[in-house]
Amino acid sequence: MIKYIVLFVCIGCSSCAQTTNTDTMIDIKPIPKEKQITYAIHINAKTPYEIYIDDIPLPRFGRYYESGMNATLELNPYLLGNGTHKLKVRYLPLETAKDSLLHPGDVYHNKDAKWNIFFVNYIKDSNDPLGYEGEIDYVNSALEVVPPPKAVPFWEQEFDLEIKDLPYTLTGWSKSQDLSKIDKEILKKEVFQYYNQLRDVMNKGDMEKYINMNANNDKEIAIATYDDKLDWYTSSERKNEIINDCKDNMLPIDPIDYNLKIYGYGKIVTIERIKKFRNSVLLAKKLVNNKTRYFAYSFKLHKPIGSDTFEIIRK
């Protein structure tokens, strides 16, 4: 049989039993269109790479990007407010590198064949062919990419990004415990226990509990992305999608297949698959028209100060 993988990234945040998604959405105040600023990074890649904002990997295809995978990555879901934010780019060796090293010419060969990173902002406009209003000044929004001085296993650069025009402030993980201070074996046990509970919820198709677990984070994402389609978060469409893909289809979690990862300067934790379906967290497997399809889901956890339980905080 032919096997396919379909990547779905889920975002959510656990909430107390009394909180519902509908309750959390009620008090979202609309933001005037002219203030709906979206910050993003636009990349023209020459090598594989990983990219982080405030020590959190930006997700797409399991956070690992192949060479030539140009992308525009929106930062708003990971920006809790205005201020200075740290962007880190990790340039990785070409897949074809016989010595498994990254060479200076892989990052900067000449002015026409080099890595480019642009820090941009815009107001989205679905009616515009480009998807945003006005024009982006790429000349003045380029970040200076510096190649490694010699061949290296990988090369990292950090950039300070000044964020000034966000019309919102989110709590996110700003009031979360520093998980790096917890004994690693204890932390690992608790984290895997939580993911197994989440896996069971999805496998049972318990959508009310699933929606409830996502409530607080759904609200933050809706605010950060200026989403006005709030009914979708509790819609039958959303519930049916999860039920159709996940009910009775979730694969068990074998700790041997995963690494425990701490991000967000100690405040965010996740597990990431090591080999097959690299960096994914939960997997669903189903047969569709005699073809095996896989659905990969990723979640990141935090533990609020004063809480004994983890919550999902981002995708």
Report the pLDDT averaged over residues 174-188: 97
The predicted pLDDT at position 2 comes to 37
What confidence tier does 189 reach under pLDDT thresholds 50, 70, 90? very high
Read off the amino acid at residue 267: K
Q: What is the mean pLDDT of the chain?
A: 89
Task: Please tell me the distance from the alpha carbon of residue 227 to that of residue 234, in angstroms, as a whole number.
Answer: 14
Number of domains in the chain: 2
Structural domain span for residue 14: 3-31+172-314
Q: pLDDT per residue over 6-16, tens digit each?
A: 444 443 333 33
| Residue 179 sits in the same domain as residue 310 | yes
Report the pLDDT averaged over residues 32-43: 96
At which of 163, 194, 219 does a domain end? 163
Report the pLDDT averaged over residues 104-118: 94
Both tokens of residue 198?
């989440």
Q: What percent of the chain has pLDDT over 90?
A: 73
Q: pLDDT per residue over 50-59, tens digit each?
A: 999 999 999 7
Both tokens of residue 250?
């979730």
| Residue 156 sits in the same domain as residue 183 | no
The predicted pLDDT at position 56 comes to 96
| Residue 184 sits in the same domain as residue 308 | yes
Angle, CA 312 vertex, CA 56 and CA 278 arms, to 5°: 55
| Residue 242 sits in the same domain as residue 281 | yes
The predicted pLDDT at position 160 comes to 98
Which residue in this structure is represented by tokens 């999860």?
Answer: 242
Please list, in sequence order, all residues whose beta carbon lies within 8 angstroms of the beta carbon of residue 244, skipping any fewer than 6 positions away. Answer: none
| Residue 20 sits in the same domain as residue 39 | no
Q: What is the pTM of this model?
A: 0.88
Residue 24 has pLDDT above 80, yes or no: no
For the chain, the maximum distance between any two Cα atoms, rounded to a whole number of angstroms, is 59
Both tokens of residue 292?
């095996």
User: 100 to each of 48, 96, 151, 275, 277, how far by Cα in Å?
Assistant: 12, 8, 10, 18, 22
At which of 134, 163, 192 does a domain end? 163
Evaluated on CA atoms 194, 200, 203, 207, the torsion sign reads negative
Q: What percent of the chain has pLDDT over 70?
A: 90
| Residue 144 sits in the same domain as residue 191 | no
Task: Please tell me the distance from the alpha carbon of residue 213 to that of residue 19, in angstroms, as a whole number.
Answer: 9
| Helix (H) or strand (E) run with residue 70 in it | none
Q: pLDDT per residue over 50-84, tens digit each?
A: 999 999 999 765 556 666 678 889 999 999 999 99
Q: pLDDT per residue over 256-286, tens digit each?
A: 999 999 999 999 999 999 988 888 899 999 9
- At 173, phi and psi to the nearest 5? -105, 15
Please list, in sequence order, all residues whose beta carbon lies within 8 angstroms of the beta carbon of residue 38, skipping any fewer than 6 positions away. Answer: 74, 76, 121, 122, 123, 124, 132, 225, 226
At which of 107, 134, 163 does a domain end? 163
| Residue 229 sits in the same domain as residue 270 | yes
Nearest to 55 by CA among 267, 221, 218: 267
Sequence-ordered alpha helix ranges (H) in the chain: 21-26, 104-107, 138-141, 184-204, 207-213, 215-224, 236-246
| Residue 92 sits in the same domain as residue 185 | no
Residue 193 has pLDDT above 60, yes or no: yes
| Residue 25 sits in the same domain as residue 44 | no
The predicted pLDDT at position 68 comes to 67
| Residue 192 sits in the same domain as residue 156 | no
Task: Please tell me the distance from the alpha carbon of residue 98 to that of residue 267, in angstroms, as a whole number.
Answer: 38
Q: pLDDT per residue over 132-156, tens digit each?
A: 888 888 889 999 999 999 999 999 9
User: 73 to each of 78, 190, 222, 236, how far by Cα in Å?
Assistant: 11, 31, 17, 29
| Residue 177 sits in the same domain as residue 308 | yes
| Residue 153 sits in the same domain as residue 124 | yes
Instruction: Please give the sequence-ordered ranges of beta strands (E in DSSP) within the chain, or none if there are none.
Output: 3-7, 37-44, 49-53, 56-57, 71-74, 83-91, 108-110, 113-114, 116-123, 142-143, 155-163, 258-263, 268-273, 282-288, 291-297, 300-302, 311-314
What confidence tier does 22 reach under pLDDT thresholds 50, 70, 90? low
